[in-house]
Amino acid sequence: MTAPTPGHDDCGRTLEQLSDYLQTGASDDQDHIEHCPQCQAGLAALRRLDTLTKALIEDDVKRANPADEPWFRSILDNLRLETRSGRTLPLTANNPNDALSETEGSVIALIRAAGDAVSGSTIGRCRINGDLTVPGAPVRVDLNVTAVWGTSLYGLADELRKAVADALAAHTELNVTAINITVTDLATEQP
């Protein structure tokens, strides 16, 4: 939202709070959000932005002309899902007055970057299963991978597990209990 104009009260809700409400349909402040004109205007703007973003993605897909390539369409469908911020993951703060968090989308991007950096693989679908909103709750990471032909699949899976586990340990506070890797496709060369 924009800065309030002089003489105009700002209700204090951020776009991030409104975005979370829009995605989940729930908020500790739901009654306020549903009746506040500023919040309603912010929600309307976020809905328009979401509609425009979807339209741009669909246009990009049409321009890419994937034709009858189901694997390509599957990757784009997953990217559409993964570009949303998703759930908010609380982080421990040193100062009790600080409220720190990261988004599920940022964690998925981290996993994808760590996995794609492993030679011989490309990450396809990426899902985090478990209650991410509860600190310390067990979560499981499920990855679909395209492997390069001739790569040792067992070695690749071990290397991917280590790369993803290291990235998650360095940048999140998630309690990862499993990283499941499924090779869903083989490619003749690294994409």
**Domain span holding position 39:** 1-65
Q: What is the pLDDT of residue 76?
A: 64
CB 46 within 8 A of CB 20: no
pLDDT at 1 over 60: no
For residue 5, pLDDT over 50 is answered with no
Residues 120 and 107 grouped into a single domain: yes
Are 140 and 81 part of one and the same domain? yes
- Asked if 169 and 184 sit in the same domain, the reply is yes
The pLDDT tens digits of the residues spanning 140-186 come to 999 999 898 888 999 999 999 999 999 999 988 889 999 999 998 88
Token digits of residue 100: 């720190």
Burial of 73 (0-12, 13-18, 19+ CB in 10 A): middle
The single-letter code of the amino acid at 59 is D
The reply to whether 39 and 77 lie within a common domain is no
pLDDT score recorded for residue 175: 93
**63-79 pLDDT per residue, tens:** 665 555 666 666 666 56
The fraction of the chain above a pLDDT of 70, given in percent, is 79
Tens of pLDDT along 17-39?
A: 888 888 777 778 888 888 888 88
User: 119 and 181, same structural domain?
Assistant: yes
**Where is the domain boundary, 18, 45, 65?**
65
Residues 8 and 55 in one domain: yes
Q: Do 174 and 108 reside in the same domain of the chain?
A: yes
- What integer best gives the mean pLDDT of the chain? 80
pLDDT score for 138: 95
- What one-character-per-residue DSSP string does 138-158 give? EEEEEEEEEEETTS-HHHHHH
Rounded mean pLDDT, 10-14: 81
Our count of domains for the chain comes to 2
Specify whether 42 is located in the same domain as 75: no
Domain boundary (48, 65, 82) is at: 65
Query: Are 106 and 174 contained in the same domain?
Result: yes
Domain final position from 18, 40, 65: 65
